[in-house]
Amino acid sequence: MAQMGEPRSGVDRLIDQVFDRFRQRFDPRRTCGEEGVFGFAVDTPEGCRHRALAVAGDTVTVSAATGPAPDAVIALDLPTLLSLATGRITGADGYISGRITISGDFLFAMNFSEWFGPYE
């Protein structure tokens, strides 16, 4: 992420828009009281970008992944992130095809599509 006062690249702005859209799609009724942090490592032409979606109660916050350790890290490239955001693939499809890798709590990571979908 660019430091305060530095211009943000188009890639960073695009990723921020995608994660803002994920945040807007969050439905706390689907969490059944669960909480946690989804970490993302997005491979871009400008290097790896990190984001986190932290779910606590009825809220979700997006950060540059500098906060608490994520429960699961979802690694993917930028085209796959865009496909996930637009509903062209699901998280499960991306994982099965090898476009998405998961480290940490695999079962927690599988909640992502339920908590932040459906895709329109």
Tell me the CATH number at 111. 3.30.1050.10
- pLDDT 10s digits, 42-97: 999 999 999 999 999 999 999 986 677 999 999 999 999 999 998 899 889 999 99
Residue 113 phi, psi (nearest 5): -60, -35
Q: Is residue 98 part of a domain?
A: yes
Q: Is residue 100 part of a domain?
A: yes
Q: How far is CA 108 from CA 6, 42, 92, in A?
A: 35, 19, 13
Helices 10-25 and 78-86 pack at an angle, to 10 degrees, of 30
pTM of the predicted protein model: 0.88
Q: Is residue 17 part of a domain?
A: no
Q: State the residue range of the domain holding 110.
A: 33-116
pLDDT of residue 1: 44
Return the DSSP state at 73.
Answer: E
pLDDT of residue 16: 95
Report how many domains make up the chain.
1
Q: Is residue 89 part of a domain?
A: yes
Q: Is residue 19 part of a domain?
A: no
